[in-house]
Amino acid sequence: MSHRVKCLYCGEQFDRDIEPTKQISARRYAHMKCWENHVANMSQEERDIEAFYDYTKKLFGEDYNYILTKKLAERYVKENNYTYSGMLKTLKWYYEKEGNSLDKSNGSIGIIPYVYKQALNYYYALYQAQLVNQEKDISNFTISKEKVVEIESPRVYVRPPHMWLEEEDNE
Q: Which residues bind Zn ion (CB under 5 A)?
A: 7, 10, 31, 34
Report, in Å, the least distance between residue 86 CB and Zn ion.
33
Angle at CA of residue 70, ends 60 and 154, nearest 5°: 95
Q: Which helix (H) or strand (E) holds 25?
A: strand 21-25
Considering the complex, what minimum distance in angstroms separates the CB of residue 12 from Zn ion? 5
Q: Please state the closest distance from residue 7 (CB atom) to Zn ion, in A.
A: 3
Which residue number, 27 or 78, has a Cβ lying nearer to Zn ion?
27
Q: Which CB sits closer to Zn ion, 7 or 120?
A: 7
Q: How far is the CB of 43 from Zn ion (least distance, A)?
A: 21
Instruction: Give the nearer residue to Zn ion in terms of CB position, either 23 or 134.
Output: 23
Q: Is residue 46 within 8 Å of residue 52, measured between CB atoms?
A: no
Q: Which is nearer to Zn ion, 13 or 140 (CB)?
A: 13
Please check whether residue 47 is in contact with residue 126, taking contact to mean a CB–CB distance below 8 angstroms: no
Angstrom distance (rounded) from CA 136 to CA 15: 52
Which residue number, 5 or 59, has a Cβ lying nearer to Zn ion? 5
Going 92 to 94 to 100 to 102, the CA torsion angle's sign is: negative
Smallest distance from Zn ion to CB 40, Å = 14
Q: Give per-residue burial for 69-90: e unless 16+ CB within 10 Å, then b.
A: beebbeebbeeeebbbbbbbbb
> In whole angstroms, what is the distance from residue 41 CA to residue 20 CA?
20
